Amino acid sequence: FFGGATDLTLRDKSIENFETVAFSYYSDRVTFADGNVASGASMEVYGNDGEDYLDASRETNGTYVLFGDEDSDTLIGGAKNDTLVGGEDTDLLTGGAGKDQFVFEDGDFADTISPYYPSRTSCRTSRAARTRRSSTAMP
3-state secondary structure string across 21-83: EECCCCCEEEEECCCCCCCCCEEEEECCCCCCEEECCCCCCCEEEEECCCCCCEEECCCCCCE
Q: What is the pTM of this model?
A: 0.76
Answer for the pair 84, 66: CB distance below 8 angstroms, yes or no: yes
pLDDT score for 20: 62
Instruction: Please write the tens of the pLDDT for every residue from 27-86.
Output: 778 888 888 788 888 889 988 888 999 999 999 989 999 998 888 999 999 999 999 998
The residue range of the domain holding 75 is 6-137
Q: How many domains does the chain have?
A: 1
pLDDT score for 125: 73
Residue 32 within any structural domain of the chain: yes
Between the CA atoms of 88, 94, 99 and 103, what dihedral angle is there, to the nearest 10 degrees? 10
